[in-house]
Structure 1
Amino acid sequence: MNIMSNWTELQKRLLSSVVLIPIALFCLWYGRWAYDLLILGVMVGLVWEGENLLNQSMKGVRGFALLLWPLCAGLIAIKGAWLMVFYLGMSGFFFGLRAWIPLFVSIVGGSSLLYLRGRPDGLYETLFVMAVVVASDSTAYAVGRLVGGPKLAPAISPGKTVSGSIGGLLGAALMGGLVAFYAQAYWSLSAFIWGGVIGVAAQAGDLGESAVKRRVGVKDSGTLIPGHGGLLDRFDGLLFAAPLAALLAYRAGHMAFWALGL
């Protein structure tokens, strides 16, 4: 029965991936309105899911305003008015600390992804971040299952191992180097290093969301994506990695952020 249940779950994951990955890649490649709409939808969805996860009421005017907040922030970010985005994100504290957390996380993460894609090398920089996060998550899972060993943070996420974390770090570094090579046709040591650093941020985001779910006593943040759980389950690492990459990109100016010296 357990084998059949695992197989059914795996089928759901694969089918969801077959549908979602091409859509995400098309939006990333095409950019413009397709990418903007994708990120805006994710921002609103993250707030809806986060507020429900924290048992915040989404009824009436308050619920409508909570969903309107990230949408407005995203639209302002598309226009490049970053100071206004910051003010809007901070003003969400008006709803109370518990309700503000999902708002702030959604606005910071979503705005960072919009900023990255809007840069001169935005396609490759955004692809770099997304690919590194996926590689970190996938290799951490695979190595953890194959090697096992001591738990990384048993009080937060009993399934994560030290070996998996190291594997995820190496996978993230390798993917960073590969994406940078694809973008510029030569190998870059700094790309491997920044890939690893962003991989650490992705793992921190994963652990952070696991801690919240453990605190509220749920397995998944939602049920929107069959076999994968909710948006927060899929975007937790990216919500930490994207702001870091955006800060690096801002510092890098017109060159790709992975070319920054250490």
Structure 2
Amino acid sequence: MCNKGLVRVIQFHTFSGTAQRFVGFILLLPLIAAFWYSAILATIMFVVISVLMFRELGTMAGVRSLPLGILLALGGMINLWPFAAAIYGWSIPTMFVFVIGLALICRIAFVRLTGDHRVADFCLMMVICVASGSFILGLPEGRFLLLALALVIACCDCAAYFVGRAVGGPRLAPAISPNKTISGALGGTMATLLAAVLLFGPMDLLDLEFSISGEMVMLSWFQIIAGGLVIGLLAQIGDLLESAVKRRLGFKDSSQLIPGHGGVLDRFDGYLLTLPAMILFFMLA
């Protein structure tokens, strides 16, 4: 009798968590539609998301006095720099130096505010991540690439969650995130690979090309499969990095802004390494 009651409680909590994740996804749909509809709205969304991410990190690290003006200025610089690069004709090395310089300045500022070098390193990665996303957004096919990446990472997250709960097994990183399993990680990686093939495979079959920074690129099947595997791995590593920072600072979620998903930083941790990797991938393609 007790066992049946325990099973019912577990089933209830599983359904409750799934329902919360579904509600959180529904709340994100208008943002996805606005992102696709307008490049201006997409840029504004990038600024708002980056401000919320840095505010959540600062709050977890005990920095509660960051003025909104400073956060908006930081978000503006990180997100609007591609416009300056286009106006003044910056070369690739110049853009690289600017982004790395901005990231290092933010890291130094974060160290002075918190005294925590590891969390400051995470802040540096966040700056590079957001700046990479802004660069991709400014490309001719930028919104398509970002939405495709979002769909692939969403498939990874969902598969990792449900496969991990259904199969269980050894923990992936118990010291960092006790609920993550190796089976979930493998399921997430396979789902990412499948999503990448379904999204980009038809482009190869139909000989479709898209423009990356003025150059036409057509992905081969090898590149699609390799890219899918790399995205699956990097998305989950980004998740673990954010989990490590939260555990270091004593938090389970970065905030409670999105039902079933936690905060903005929790929702976008999968992009931490995948956005810079996407730029490198297409530069080498």
- Structure 1 length normalisation: TM-score? 0.84
Question: Are 1:149 and 2:182 counterparts?
Answer: no
TM-superposed CA distance for 1:38, in Å, is: 0.9
Structure 1: gaps spanning 5 or more residues? 253-259
Of the two, which has the highest radius of gyration? Answer: 2
Question: Are 1:15 and 2:48 counterparts?
Answer: no
Question: Are 1:127 and 2:147 counterparts?
Answer: yes
Q: Tell me the residue number matched to 1:257.
A: none
TM-superposed CA distance for 1:227, in Å, is: 2.3
1:101–1:31 Cα change, 3 Å: farther
**Cα deviation per residue 1:16-43 (whole Å; 9 max; x = unaligned)?**
311212422441x234201111111111
Structure 1 window deviating more from structure 2 (92-101 vs 236-245): it is 92-101
Q: Tell me the residue number matched to 2:106.
A: 92
Instruction: Give the number of equivalent residue pairs.
Output: 249
Q: What root-mean-square deviation, in Å, do the aligned CA atoms of Structure 1 and Structure 2 show? A: 2.5
Q: Tell me the residue number matched to 2:258.
A: 225
Q: Tell me the residue number matched to 1:116.
A: 136
Structure 1 window deviating more from structure 2 (217-226 vs 229-238): it is 217-226
Q: Tell me the residue number matched to 1:136.
A: 156
Q: Tell me the residue number matched to 2:212.
A: none
Distance 2:15 2:102 in 1: 45
Distance 1:178 1:25 in 2: 21
The one-letter amino acid of 2:58's match is E
The percent of aligned pairs where both chains have the same amino acid is: 32
Structure 1 window deviating more from structure 2 (188-197 vs 228-237): it is 188-197
Q: Tell me the residue number matched to 1:107.
A: 127
1:104-253 alignment, distance < 5 Å: 104-186=124-206, 188-249=221-282, 251-252=283-284
TM-superposed CA distance for 1:8, in Å, is: 4.9
- Structure 2 length normalisation: TM-score? 0.78
**Cα deviation per residue 1:62-95 (whole Å; 9 max; x = unaligned)?**
x643552232221223433634333222222341
**Cα deviation per residue 1:201-260 (whole Å; 9 max; x = unaligned)?**
0000011111111122221111111221101110011122111112222x14xxxxxxx3
Q: Helix, strand or coil for the counterpart of 2:178?
A: strand
1:22–1:184 Cα change, 3 Å: farther
Distance 1:96 1:140 in 2: 32
Distance 1:59 1:121 in 2: 35
Q: Helix, strand or coil for the counterpart of 1:58?
A: coil
Distance 1:66 1:123 in 2: 24
Structure 1 window deviating more from structure 2 (16-25 vs 224-233): it is 16-25
TM-superposed CA distance for 1:136, in Å, is: 1.3
The one-letter amino acid of 2:40's match is W
**Cα deviation per residue 1:89-131 (whole Å; 9 max; x = unaligned)?**
2222341424744643332111211212222332332233222
